[in-house]
């Protein structure tokens, strides 16, 4: 597996992967319709960085992160392509993030929805622990 920094040309791909992430983690039902490309462009222009992880030049995962105000980084999105899951690729991609992309010993904060038990199990297997619970209430529409 190799990684590369995502560019403006990757925004349509990242937006499609982000749409799938939103569907898979259960958050799409909680939010109004989103223009994923517009949102990705805004995030990349607003302090976020993204990397694509590839096997044989084919993207299989991505990560979107930003500096967490001097407290390490905040991982906003991490996604492995649906047809490539359960093959250890998420663990390999995260290992590349830790050892090739980020400075050594970088602290990482991320969020996992309660409605995403597979995501929670994945992050716990990588050594993350729950330290807070965020609450959400949808508007009445």
The domain in which residue 43 lies consists of: 2-125
d(Cα 4, Cα 125) in Å, to the nearest integer?
A: 25
Per-residue tens of pLDDT for the chain, all 141 residues: 999 999 999 999 998 898 888 887 665 555 555 788 998 899 998 999 999 999 999 999 999 999 988 889 999 999 998 888 889 999 999 999 999 999 989 999 998 887 788 888 999 999 999 888 777 776 765
| CATH number of the CATH domain containing 12 | 3.40.630.30
When computed from its CA atoms, the radius of gyration of the chain, rounded to whole angstroms, is: 15
Within-domain flag for 130: no
Within-domain flag for 136: no
Q: Count the domains in the chain.
A: 1
**pTM, two decimal places:** 0.85
């Amino acid at each position: 597996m190799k990684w590369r920094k995502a560019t403006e040309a990757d925004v349509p791909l990242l937006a499609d992967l982000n749409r799938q992430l939103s569907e898979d983690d259960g958050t799409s039902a909680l939010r109004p319709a989103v223009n994923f490309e517009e949102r990705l462009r805004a995030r990349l222009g607003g302090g976020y960085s993204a990397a694509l992880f590839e096997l044989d030049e084919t993207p299989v995962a991505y990560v979107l992160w930003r500096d967490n105000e001097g407290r390490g980084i905040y991982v906003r999105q991490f996604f492995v392509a649906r047809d490539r899951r359960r093959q250890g690729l998420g663990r390999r991609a995260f290992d590349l993030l830790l050892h090739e992309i980020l400075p050594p010993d970088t602290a990482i904060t991320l969020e996992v929805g309660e409605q995403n038990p597979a995501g929670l199990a994945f992050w716990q297997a990588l050594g993350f622990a729950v330290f807070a619970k965020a609450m959400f209430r949808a508007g009445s529409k």
